[in-house]
Chains A and B, each alone.
Chain A
């Protein structure tokens, strides 16, 4: 869209680029070094089934079925990404697992134990880490300090609490540790979380969720609105968590992110599972599946038409008409 591109970093002009420049070139100008948009990761070392979702159905406040009989599992040490166009039920799947949607039916088992019907607190205690889609609304208390936000879901656990007593000193010590570990750029641990940049806010959320032993990590749109450097950092941490043997469930509308992280991809369309395909599936195929085309057919069509984004739109409108 731009006629000329000027790149600013730390308040200084660091370079200019032509609009035709490759995105990798722009990215490296912005972060000051070459950036790998793809994540460097080993093949997964897959273990037992950790999360077993069976027939999950969610009805929203307007009695509209937003998640329709969804079944899948996530194994230890693998990343399952839920892809799909925003608003096709992915968010609700994660919220139902966490226990935020009391109207969810079906079965969600973590290590064989039923999670549905338990409180959010109990689900978190069972070893689920949750990075919400909207960090400002659901992830952080903006008017709390960074230190307090880092213990938001751990504040009543030792060492941060002894019975009803809250221990600010332990919270401070924890904050210093996490800020260093996750390279959170903040004035101090007492800085209000709302004053941090989006990338650093997200690091606070991720640092908090990864600071306790997890069986399952759920991350919804983990890099939305972040700069390139932060995206890379977040991706690395997610893969590192996977390699520790944690089951990881990612929700992303970004095909790049899905391709970079996923060992398997589950595509959702209108609350239903279109299909579960390997992580290295061609993007054209994923794009078609996101428009509701079943995997085999998507495979075939993608072969016939190498770039199919426009075609997918056509298919989508046609399908809408068919349903009418």
Chain B
């Protein structure tokens, strides 16, 4: 767009000038500025500028393909397909039953179970969804905020583990009064993750090491640090050889409002983290700098914004957010430290941030969707024998479609809308 705008301008300038010496040697301005963006930059841009509609359609498309996979892997459908040419209707009926029952089971496992008679029990599946979503929200924010500053934080996993270690230790080893215990442990979780993230940011800022490499390495260090600590006397449960810590002291346990559900106060902390991230990005000068650095580090530097300092600060904060995710895991869900406390949360967080378009609100919604898929998958497998792996495939497909918007547009025959309206009066003549 801008390319076309400028061409007549450049001609006008050449026409209006007679200094052959100057114009002959001056490179065309457009050639200099129109650098081909690297794949990483294009990927980041695609992530942050894609439309909500495309995201929604990506999810729909992934679920549709998931349905096909469910149908294909169902033995009932196979049986019906064996006499497809005599009674084709049976095959389609079986296919419909298979897919609809699987998704119905998923829905009842994730949102509302209509077979239950009390409201509390009927809504318990949704509580499970929110339980799974809690750490994904906080860790997803850790990835999303880094994205917005132009960094790929692959290290949420390690930051989460460090958060869990510190929060967990405070939780089972230190005696504190009720409410204060939770606050202190939660802060410790933040600090643990923040230090881990800050290390990556500092190395990136001072030595230019790529944050992806550094955070991946820090993930391994965190994982084995946890494994080692769980063999020490300070962390290991007394009188046991298993690598697991004592349970949280009652004062450090996050309150569970629904009986029989593991949904806990951690959700509130995760949502507070989302509110904080929103505030940071939209109402703070630091967030303004983060965004400027993420979108154009050159212009940010020229405007007096320190890019290295922003990288360090943002990784510190991102690490802290992931640390909160770790703290909610250990203080609210598992109630003790063990080697797989982080599960795959730090990596799912990347997908969640992607799906949420790196915005705080989007990340919360995406985390809830992933929580629902996860909660529903268990019920689906139990009720319809559909393999739980289907859900992983659906998650992967969502990411794939989000990263390839032209594919989704082609499937739904969407027209590419011009996203860059040209301002009237391109010359802006006084």
Q: Is A119 an interface residue (CB 8 A)?
A: yes
Q: Given A191-B423, A196-B423, A229-B427, answer yes or no on A27-B12 (Cβ-Cβ < 8 Å).
A: yes
Which of the 9-residue segments A41-49, A58-66, A72-80, A147-155 touches chain B? A147-155
CB distance from B22 to the nearest CB of A (A): 5
Chain B residues with CB under 8 A of A26: 12, 15-16
Chain B residues with CB under 8 A of A269: none
Inter-chain contact A155/B285, CB cutoff 8 Å:
yes
Inter-chain contact A199/B285, CB cutoff 8 Å:
no
Which listed residue, B288, B304, B422, touches A120 by the CB 8 Å rule?
Answer: B304
Inter-chain contact B13/A10, CB cutoff 8 Å:
no
Q: Is B296 an interface residue (CB 8 A)?
A: yes
Inter-chain contact B423/A141, CB cutoff 8 Å:
no
Which of the 9-residue segments B2-10, B177-185, B372-380 touches chain A? B2-10
Q: Is A138 an interface residue (CB 8 A)?
A: yes
Q: Is A185 an interface residue (CB 8 A)?
A: yes
Q: How many residues of B contact A (CB 8 A)?
A: 58
Q: Is A174 an interface residue (CB 8 A)?
A: no
CB distance from A79 to the nearest CB of B (A): 18
Considering the complex, give the chain B residue whose CB is closest to the CB of A155.
B288
Task: Fill in one digit per residue for B408-430: 1 if any A CB lies within 8 Å of its CB, else 0.
Answer: 00000000000011111111111
Task: Fill in one digit per residue for A85-104: 1 if any B CB lies within 8 Å of its CB, else 0.
Answer: 11000000000001010000
Q: How many residues of A contact B (CB 8 A)?
A: 77
Chain A residues with CB under 8 A of B425: 10, 185
Which of the 9-residue segments B28-36, B108-116, B194-202 touches chain A? B28-36
Task: Fill in one digit per residue for A147-175: 1 if any B CB lies within 8 Å of its CB, else 0.
Answer: 01000110110000100111010000000
Q: Is A200 an interface residue (CB 8 A)?
A: yes
CA distance A141 to B429 in the complex (A): 23
Chain A residues with CB under 8 A of B295: 141-144
Chain B residues with CB under 8 A of A32: 429
CA distance A23 to B17 in the complex (A): 8
Which listed residue, B25, B299, B428, touches A85 by the CB 8 Å rule?
Answer: B25
CB distance from B128 to the nearest CB of A (A): 38
Chain B residues with CB under 8 A of A232: 430
Task: Show 25 residue pairs from A and B whose CB-CB distance is below 8 angstroms, ordered by the A residue.
Answer: A26-B15, A124-B303, A134-B32, A137-B33, A138-B298, A138-B299, A144-B292, A148-B288, A152-B292, A164-B286, A166-B285, A183-B428, A185-B425, A185-B427, A186-B423, A187-B421, A195-B422, A197-B2, A197-B428, A225-B30, A227-B13, A230-B9, A254-B26, A256-B17, A287-B19
Q: Which 5 A-B pairs have the closest CB atoms?
A: A229-B429, A121-B304, A255-B19, A197-B426, A153-B303
User: Could you tell me which B residues sit within 8 Å of A by CB distance?
Assistant: 1-2, 5-6, 8-10, 12-13, 15-23, 25-27, 29-30, 32-33, 49, 282-289, 291-292, 295-296, 298-306, 420-430
